[in-house]
Amino acid sequence: MSDIVRQQELIDLTVESLWQVAPVDWTEIEVTYKAAGASRRLNTQLRTMNGFSDKFDDPIFFPSSVLELRDLMYVPGLGTWFTFQLTISCTGDVITEFDYDMPDENSVAWMDFEGDLESYPRNTTPKWMKEAIERGQSLRDGDENSVEVVDLQPRSSGTDMNCISVGGIEQERALMLASDFVPGDQSWRYIQVLSALGSRIEPILVFSEILGGGFERRRIEFYRDGHVGLASRYRTTGGTSLDGDPIESASEISEEVGLTALEISAVEFQAEWIAAGGWQA
C-alpha cells in the first residue's frame, strides 16, 4: 500500500471517529490537532442547525490515526507538520489543512520541539524552533527568568488536605458557588495531581473528575508559565483534552516518580473548575 493511500485511510478513520460522536443536528465540525514530539492537543468547534455548540455525544480524544499521519507525512530532512486542521460537513465535504511552519505563540510555549527533532530530523532547524528549544532547556535547568512563573500557593480547602490552585475567580467565592454541587453519580471520584517535573509542555497541577468506569469527565491543567487549560466531554480550551485511558487511584499515581496525588471532594473540584473559568458541564 502506498503512503498516499494510507494517508487517505487515516484521514477517513479520523473523520469517521468524529461522525460517531457528533449530535444528530450537527452541520459542521472543525478540529485542530497540534503535535510536536511528546506533546499533543486538540481544539474542537461544532456547528449545529441552532448555531455553535460544544456538546458532542461522547468525549473527543487525540486519535492514533493522526499520530500515524504525522509519521507518514514526514519528509526526510524537512520535518513533518505541527498543525492539522480538519473540517467536515454533514453533506460529506472534508477539508484538510496541514501547517509545517511555526504554530501560534501560545502553542509554541508548550510544544516539545526538541523531541520532535529527535523523531523527525531536519537538515536545517528554523530560528524560531531553536529559540523555543533553548527556552525549554533553560526552564529545565532552573532558569525561572526565561518565562513568567506563576507561584501556585496551597490553600486550606475546608478539609484536612490542601488544594493548590490559581484562577479567574477568588477561591472563597468559588467555594461558595460550589458549595451545593452534587456529582451525577456516587461512583464519581475526584483527584488532584501535583508534578515536580512539570515543564513548558507538561502541567504542574491537574484536577480530574472521574466517572465510575475510570474515565475522565472533566479536567483542569495548570502550567508553569501561567497557562490554564480545561476539558470536558464536549468542549476543550487551552489545548487541554481528556485522558483517553482510565485514571488510576491517587495512591497508584503517587507511586510514579515526581507525582503526588490526593483524593479531593466533589465540592473542592467544582470550586477549582469555577475559579479556572469552567463552564456548565
Cα 206 to Cα 253: distance, rounded to the nearest angstrom: 12
Residue 91 clears pLDDT 80, i.e. is over it: yes
Pairing mode of beta strands 94-99, 216-222 = unpaired
Residues with Cβ < 8 Å from 127, sequence gap 6 or more?
Answer: none
Cα 39 to Cα 111: distance, rounded to the nearest angstrom: 6
Cβ–Cβ < 8 Å for 119, 95: no
- What number is the average pLDDT over the span 21-41? 86
pLDDT in tens, 139-181: 655 544 433 433 444 343 333 333 433 444 566 788 888 889 9
What is the structure's pLDDT at 164?
39
Cα 98 to Cα 109: distance, rounded to the nearest angstrom: 20
Predicted confidence band at 98 (pLDDT cuts at 50, 70, 90)?
very high
Cα 74 to Cα 50: distance, rounded to the nearest angstrom: 40
Q: Which residue has the higher pLDDT, 245 or 78?
A: 78
What is the structure's pLDDT at 153?
41
Integer angstrom CA distances of residue 221 from 165, 167, 205, 231: 10, 11, 6, 9
Predicted confidence band at 182 (pLDDT cuts at 50, 70, 90)?
very high
What is the structure's pLDDT at 258?
87
Exposure string of 145-168, with b = 16+ CB inside 10 Å and e = fewer, is ebbeeeebeeeebeeeeebbbbbe
Q: One-letter amino acid identity for 218?
A: R
Q: Which H, E and C letters describe 73-139, residue by residue?
A: CCECEEECCCEEEEEEECCCCEEEEEECCCCCHHHHCCCCHHHHHHHCCECCCCHHHHHHHHHHHHH
Helices (H), the chain: 3-21, 64-72, 105-108, 113-119, 127-140, 171-178, 250-254, 266-275
- What number is the average pLDDT over the span 125-149? 68
- What number is the average pLDDT over the span 59-74? 85
What is the structure's pLDDT at 140?
58
Q: Quick one: cell of 101?
A: 511552519
- What number is the average pLDDT over the span 239-248? 84
Residues facing residue 44 across a β-bridge? 31
- What number is the average pLDDT over the span 223-227? 76
What is the structure's pLDDT at 163?
42
- What number is the average pLDDT over the span 15-44? 86
| Cβ neighbours of 104 (radius 10 Å) | 10
Q: Whole-angstrom distance between the N-terminal and C-terminal Cα of the chain?
A: 43
What is the structure's pLDDT at 150?
39
Helices (H), 120-241: 127-140, 171-178
Cα 66 to Cα 46: distance, rounded to the nearest angstrom: 19
Q: Which residue has the higher pLDDT, 65 or 165?
A: 65
- What number is the average pLDDT over the span 65-78? 92
Q: Which of 162, 161, 216 is nearest to 190 (CA)?
A: 216
**Residue 42 burial class via C-beta count within 10 angstroms: exposed 0-12, middle 13-18, buried 19 and up:** buried
- The domain 3-146: what is its CATH number? 3.30.500.20
For the chain, domain boundaries: 3-146, 154-275
What is the structure's pLDDT at 147?
39
What is the structure's pLDDT at 136?
72
Q: Which of 146, 127, 276, 236 is nearest to 200 (CA)?
A: 146
Residue 72 clears pLDDT 50, i.e. is over it: yes
Q: Which residue has the higher pLDDT, 30 or 147?
A: 30
What is the structure's pLDDT at 230?
87
- What number is the average pLDDT over the span 188-202? 82
Edge-to-edge strand order for the sheet containing 205-210? Answer: 236-237, 228-232, 216-222, 205-210, 189-195, 259-264
Predicted confidence band at 83 (pLDDT cuts at 50, 70, 90)?
very high
